[in-house]
Chains A and B, each alone.
Chain A
Amino acid sequence: MSKLIFADIPRVLRSKIFYIVLFITAFMAAASVLVTFADTDNKQMVFLVSSNNLAMFISILMPVFSGGLSIMLISGEFSSGIIRNKFIMGHRRPAVLLSWTVIYSLTTVLTYIVYVGSYLITLKAVGTDLSEFDTGVIAVNFLLIFLFLMKFQMFSLLMVCIYPDAKMSVITYLLNNLTMVPLLLFSMNSADNKAVKFLSRIFIYGYIGDGYSLITKPDKPWFSAVCILTLSVIYMVLAGLYFNKKDLK
């Protein structure tokens, strides 16, 4: 598997689309702070307000960017036929799938680091002092958001294993993301509903309905982490089942 990873990492790092996604994420993070800063004189309020913008961006747009990036790069292997070379050279299907998981997890980590980095640097630049807030809570929230993004990566992997055609898998991925919008709307009016609260652990939209903010202490974060990870594993197992039985051309 290491051969596959070492072959693909330089390819991903050379891809223009990867840097476009990084640029957009960095720009959006900085913009969320700067737009808020333009509206208020209170530097601490900048963080409070922009963290809501951040939640919206991370929960809706970032999965589209990072998941879409993975889908396009993997689908490129199908359309160019490179996937054939991997099998002809004796690489086994589980190894190929795992190498994709590792590589696209790394791209998510990089994208997320760039986003958070850009966000924190811009906050510092406008003079916000984060030490006044509970940094432990902020860190846990950032970690939960990361797991949430990883869940989307696994979902995009499943989509690409079902539909190797890039357009088809991107469309299906986006449509599936849209199915979560009703949950978001429902959660806004039913924050006390137990089912909504449970689903909120998996779909971060629920947090928004409950007034999500980076400084809000999450309820049972470990339980949320287990829920998200379990769903990620389910996606990955399903992807493996599809991929192992798939007839490739």
Chain B
Amino acid sequence: MEYVMRTSGLCKYYENFKALNGLSMNVPKGAIYGFVGRNGAGKTTLIRLLCGLQLPTQGELELYGIKNSDKAISKARERMGAVVESPSLFPEMTAEENLKYQYRLLGMPDYNGIAELLKLVGLENTGKKKTKNFSLGMRQRLGIAIALCGDPDLLVLDEPINGLDPQGIIEVRELILKLNREKKITIIISSHILDELAKLATHYGFIDNGRIVQEMSAHELESSCRKSLRVTVSSTAALARVLDGLKMEYTVISDTEADIFARPNISQLVFALAEEKCQLISCTEREETLEGFFISLVGGGSNE
């Protein structure tokens, strides 16, 4: 698998506080990587390191295979765009003027593409309205447009839906999906609004206390969160033979436990297992949400 961004044992210490403590993560190309964690878990710190706003205390960060210790990392950063915390805008300028400034920073030869960018984020009719008079949603979308100047391959969005109204959330979500699907942009999106993230992400990284607790694809997460029947048997090998015969989907957890993703007739299952000389010891119905999964990973406390 090709990775856009990787970190290994990344640490960032502020005096005695360990914001990142040996964080290792891998962002596959083309993914929408949902970066999940509580407030203070280290999400924004990682994004700051990724954007070059801060330097790591220890560990390595690779962007397009270029390590952060390499001077060429600045060149690699030209291929990314980011909105860190709040959109970086000049309040006295219009949306178009802000984009023009960004184009000049990038050294673009002309301003072609600004109209298209404004249209993409739905701000084509803002005219001479200064950004200080924009709504939060409009500022967020302009922030994304600014991050898209120069056609980046990687977009980093830090809590992009924080403070938005429901309509604003839908607009930003649709924009993110459009960028990923149509422009093939890899997106790293940090959030603690899990339901919203679940509608977007193709991959997840769960962060707690400055470390990645688990990385998984949306498919793997879906499997973990699907409604299932957790059965405890004397032999999962026998159970597997029975379930194969019944054409049921299942995942073996251990020698004695398995999850069945169907609603089997329990009597039929017990008889079939008995024929295989296998005992059904217990069965429990399970269903987990992303939130539940996250809590089971990091515990229920708060970092705040």
Which A residues fall within an 8 A CB radius of B? 2-4, 6-7, 10-11, 76, 80-92, 245, 247-249
Contact = CB atoms under 8 A, between A and B. Distances in A.
Contacts of A83: 88
Contact of A84 (B53, B55, B101, B107): B53
Contacts of B105: 3-4, 7, 85-86, 89, 91
A88 B80 CA distance: 7
Interface string B48-86: 100111110000000000000000001111101110111
27 contacts: A6-B107, A10-B101, A10-B104, A11-B90, A80-B88, A80-B90, A80-B91, A81-B86, A81-B88, A81-B89, A84-B53, A84-B88, A85-B88, A85-B102, A86-B105, A87-B53, A87-B77, A88-B80, A88-B81, A88-B84, A89-B106, A90-B74, A90-B75, A90-B78, A247-B53, A248-B54, A249-B53
B90 A85 contact: no
Find the residue from A11, A81, A91 having the highest chain B CB count within 10 A: A81
B146 A6 contact: no
B150 interface: yes
Interface string B165-198: 0000000000000000000000000000000000
B275 to A, nearest CB: 64
Contacts of B86: 81
Contacts of A82: 88-90, 101
B87 interface: yes
Interface of B: 14, 48, 51-55, 74-78, 80-82, 84-91, 101-102, 104-107, 146-147, 150
Contacts of B51: 84, 87-88
A81 B87 contact: yes
A245 B14 CA distance: 13
Contacts of B102: 85
A3 B106 contact: yes
A85 to B, nearest CB: 5
Contact of A88 (B52, B90, B104, B107): B52
Q: Which residue, of A11, A80, A249, has the highest number of chain B Cβ atoms within 10 A?
A: A80
Given A80-B90, A85-B102, 16 more contacts: A2-B107, A10-B101, A76-B90, A80-B89, A81-B84, A81-B88, A81-B89, A84-B84, A87-B53, A88-B51, A88-B84, A89-B106, A91-B105, A245-B55, A247-B55, A249-B85
Contacts of A88: 51-52, 77, 80-82, 84, 147
B6 to A, nearest CB: 18
Chain A CB within 10 Å — which of B14, B106, B146 has the most? B106
Contacts of A92: 74
Contacts of A89: 77-78, 105-106, 150
A91 B74 contact: yes
A234 B185 CA distance: 45
A229 B88 CA distance: 35
Contacts of B101: 7, 10-11, 82
Give 4 closest A-B pairs by Cβ, nearest first: A81-B88, A7-B104, A90-B77, A3-B107
